[in-house]
């Protein structure tokens, strides 16, 4: 069952529904900003979508740090966390966006990773999140 507020119905939410329903074993999906705010979700109540969004943002941040320190850059292709009873998949999604999916351990990781990559490629305009401007930045202005 999909739980979301009535103002959350949109193309990205529909695409998350389609992603979860296309991959056997996929449970839920969240599209969030890199700072952890869930924008759209499927298969979770709003409060759990926000919690998963914050966790996925943290995973993505850790992966960026590993990439900066040990890789060629801080670009994140995919983070995969396998736990008892659930697997979390996280990937970058447009500018300042993250796509996160929870799935059963039996879900085909290759198929799910492929479908996530295809979604990110098909609709990059909907997946990005503009960078937030803080009050302090606005007060100082451009330099």
Confidence at residue 84, expressed as pLDDT on a 0 to 100 scale: 94
pLDDT computed for residue 76 by the predictor? 78
What does the pLDDT average to over 84-93?
A: 93
What is the value of pTM for the model shown?
Answer: 0.80
What is the number of H-type helices and E-type strands within the chain? 5, 5
Residue 1, pLDDT above cutoff 60:
no
pLDDT in tens, 37-79: 999 999 999 999 999 999 999 998 899 889 888 988 777 788 9
6-140 CATH fold = Beta-Lactamase (3.30.450)
The string of pLDDT tens digits covering residues 99-142 is: 999 999 999 999 999 999 988 887 666 555 566 666 655 555 55
Burial class (CB in 10 A: 0-12, 13-18, 19+), 55: middle
Whose tokens are 């979770």? That residue is 44
Helix axes 109-122, 11-22, angle to 10 degrees: 160
pLDDT in tens, 9-36: 567 888 899 999 999 999 999 999 888 9
Q: How far apart are CA 8 and CA 25, in angstroms?
A: 24
Using pLDDT thresholds of 50, 70 and 90, give the confidence band for residue 93. Answer: confident
């Amino acid at each position: 069952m999909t739980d979301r507020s009535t103002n959350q119905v949109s193309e990205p939410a529909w695409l998350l529904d389609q992603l979860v329903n296309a991959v056997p074993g996929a449970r839920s999906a969240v599209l969030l900003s890199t700072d952890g705010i869930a924008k759209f979700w499927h298969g979770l109540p709003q409060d759990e979508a926000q919690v998963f969004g914050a966790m996925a943002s943290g995973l993505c941040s850790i992966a960026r740090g590993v990439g900066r320190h040990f890789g060629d850059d801080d670009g994140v292709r995919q983070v995969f966390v396998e736990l008892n009873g659930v697997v979390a998949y996280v990937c970058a999604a447009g500018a300042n966006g993250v796509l996160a999916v929870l799935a059963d351990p039996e879900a085909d990781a290759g198929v799910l990773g492929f479908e996530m990559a295809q979604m990110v490629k098909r609709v990059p305009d909907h997946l990005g999140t503009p960078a937030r401007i803080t009050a302090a930045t606005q007060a100082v202005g451009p330099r």
